[in-house]
Amino acid sequence: MSKRMHRWAALLPLVLVAAIGGSAAMAGPTADVLLSQGRPAFASTVESAEFAADLAVDGSTTTRWASVEGADPQWIQVDLGQPADVHRVKLTWEAAYGKNYRIEISDDGTTFTTIKSLTNQDGATDDITGLNGHGRYLRLVGTTRGTAYGYSLFELEAYGVTDSTGDVQPPTVPTGLTSTGVTASSVALSWTASTDNVGVSGYDVLRNGAVVAAATSTSYTDTGLTANTSYSYSVRAKDFAGNTSAASTAITAKTSVGGGGDFVLAAAGDIARQCTASSSSCIHPKTAKIVDFIKPANVLTMGDGQYDDAHLSDYQNYYDKTWGKFKSITKPTAGNHDSYASPAFSGYEKYYGTIAKPNGKRYYSWDKGNWHFIALDTNDFATHELAEPAQLTWLKADLAANTKGCVVAYYHHPRWSTGKRGDNPDGIALWNLMVQKKVDLVLTGHDHHYERFFPLNANGAKDPNGPVQIIGGMSGAEPYALGPAKSITAKRLSTYGVLKLNMTDNSWTSTLLGLNNEVLDSSPTTTCKAKG
């Protein structure tokens, strides 16, 4: 039955009452409701993290979305949560308003249809009525700014009627439920999509007969489980009106044996300048004391352990007198400054010996507990000399052979950065492989600041299925200035410190400790992704 036939069916009893002389008046159209408030929103650009897109749909006229200044066109998009007829859009502008803009709507968030174009607007509040658009995704596209700044909205309000009004038909039962991967503490599930007369809104995931999660896609990873244990799973579909299907056929999945317990690591890059503790401005003796405070099982270095040209004598005269205390438990990687010695990397390789090249290469992997660690030399990825460096070929094979449930990769050059050096296009192939193979955590240096990102996908957009990258280039080298903030950054600081990592069989937590061992940032506890 079509959407409009559904609504006519819902009105038919009232029409009949009126026709036979009843006292009830014939029902009119269903009343419009506010569809956009609190819904997910994103935009073409944001001026800074404090002006994120979702602030334009939070119901407050004291917060706002703002685009970058001086650029046309710009847009902001809202996911209404389900298909709907949109009849009215109200825009409450800040001083930076849209002079010319259009309202668009889409069923899939990709192909949009214009439902209203406006020109020569004067800002303040635009209350646009009489619209006749149908879809799930609403977009405001600004084509001409009213000022020299950008576009800035206190609130974007969309009003209309959802397709699920009056719907009583449940979706079909999900089929094809299967387990796509397990770890010691997680089970990954996938299934075939259900269908519905209006639309499927999501799925309930049942473990041993009880609902444990709501999924919006046809996959889910159940975490926090007990190692070496069998669990029964089924799923059921829901539609936008709250109708629920019967549960699917159940399957059984068993978690793997655990990996060996919890441990703590210290991690940092860009460490020792040519200075000693006799100078109060010399930082690496102070960050070495943080490592002492952490008492890690291992120390990870993300390149440029010694400045400036990283000769062996430099390592011996400076790095070794502080961080050298931890040499036997250090798992290092090389940075660009390590290549400045003559011959390249000679100081780094002579200082660490087989610690730096356990397999004869400056890249290697090692295991601890349920974790697989990959130490890379990203100087290979910044030369433009090879379409696929031998290291990348090795990395693909290493990841394919991994049997651990959690993975960390650490190296020098970050793919993403809002620091002095910015994003690194030479790291595209490497980052895409990190995403594809479901690496959990990526640690880097090079930019001299601290920056923890949200999980990101191959395009650098927030995605819970992507790795978390942390830049830790703040353990002694002179800090660089920060560039413009971006919404993909969870926390960034221009400071000195050392990263403390708490690892369990199925999760990790990071803490940035400052020079007085104070906590400057803490990540949420993140569960490892099922590797399949």
Kindly report the CATH number assigned to the domain that includes residue 229: 2.60.40.10
Q: Band the pLDDT of 389: cuts 50, 70, 90.
A: confident
Residues 246 and 351 in one domain: no
How many domains are contained in the chain?
Answer: 3
- Which of these three, 162, 196, 225, is where a domain ends? 162
d(CA 161, CA 241): 12
Contact 43, 75 (CB under 8 A): yes
Task: Report residue 246's pLDDT band, with 50, 70 and 90 as the boundaries.
Answer: very high
Is residue 117 included in any domain, yes or no?
yes
User: Rounded mean pLDDT of the chain?
Assistant: 90
- State which of 227, 254, 281 marks the end of a domain: 254
Task: Answer yes or no: do 471 and 378 share one domain.
Answer: yes
Query: pLDDT class for 178, splitting at 50, 70, 90?
Result: very high
Residue 97 lies in a domain: yes
27: in domain? no
472 in the same domain as 364:
yes
Residue bearing the bigger pLDDT, 450 or 183: 450
Q: If DSSP states are collapsed to H, E and C, what string results for 466-518?
A: CCEEEEECCCCCCCCCCCCCCCCEEEEECCCCEEEEEECCCEEEEEEECCCCC
What is the pLDDT, as a whole number, of residue 413? 96
- Give residue-wise pLDDT tens across range 284-297: 999 999 999 999 99
For the chain, give the percent of residues with pLDDT over 90.
76
Least confident of 252-261, 272-281, 513-522: 252-261
- Please report the pLDDT score of residue 181 as a whole number: 82
Same domain, 211 and 135: no
pLDDT per residue over 455-488, tens digit each? 999 999 999 999 999 999 999 999 888 999 999 9
Kindly state whether residues 269 and 382 are assigned to the same domain. yes
Residue with tokens 């049997």: 403
Pair 364, 328 in one domain: yes
| Lowest model confidence (mean pLDDT) among 54-63, 175-184, 322-331 | 175-184
pLDDT at 382 over 60: no
Residue 269 has pLDDT above 50, yes or no: yes
CA distance 435 to 332: 23
| Mean pLDDT computed over 397-413 | 95
Q: At 70, is the secondary structure helix, strand, or coil?
A: coil
Tens digit of each residue's pLDDT (9 = 90 or more) over 139-175? 999 999 999 999 999 999 999 999 887 788 999 999 9
Q: Do β-strands 507-513 and 526-527 pair in parallel, antiparallel, or remain unpaired?
A: antiparallel
Residues 75 and 114 in one domain: yes
| Same domain membership, residue 301 and residue 404 | yes
- Quick one: 218 and 116 in the same domain? no
Give me the CATH number covering residue 58: 2.60.120.260
Q: Which domain holds residue 54?
A: 33-162
Q: Say yes or no to pLDDT of 127 above 80.
A: yes
Q: Which residue did the predictor score with more confidence, 212 or 349?
A: 349
> How many Å apart are CA 371 and CA 402, to the nearest integer?
10
Band of the pLDDT at 183, cuts 50, 70, 90?
confident
| pLDDT bracket for residue 2 (50, 70, 90) | very low
Q: Quickly state the pLDDT bin for 27 (edges 50, 70, 90).
A: very low
Give me the pLDDT at residue 260, please: 60
Three-class SS of residue 295?
coil
Buried b (16+ CB within 10 A) or exposed e, 128-152: beebebbbbbbbbbbbebbbebbbb
Output the pLDDT for position 186. Answer: 79
The verdict on residue 16 lying in a domain is no
pLDDT-wise least confident of 120-129, 176-185, 202-211, 402-411: 176-185
Model confidence at 224, in pLDDT bands (50, 70, 90)? Answer: confident
Residue 23 covered by a domain: no
- 309 and 375 inside one domain: yes
Q: Is the pLDDT of residue 18 over 60?
A: no
Pick the last residue of a domain from 136, 162, 188: 162
pLDDT of the residue at 337? 96
Asked if residue 274 belongs to a domain, the reply is: yes
> Which whole-number Å values give the CA distances from 465 to 33, 406, 439, in the listed order?
34, 13, 9
Q: In what order do the strands lie in the sheet with 210-215?
A: 210-215, 200-207, 230-239, 251-254
What is the spatial distance between Cα 80 and Cα 32, in angstroms, rounded to a whole number? 14
**pLDDT tens digits along 416-437:** 999 999 999 888 999 999 999 9
Of 122-136, 251-265, 398-412, the poorest mean pLDDT is in 251-265
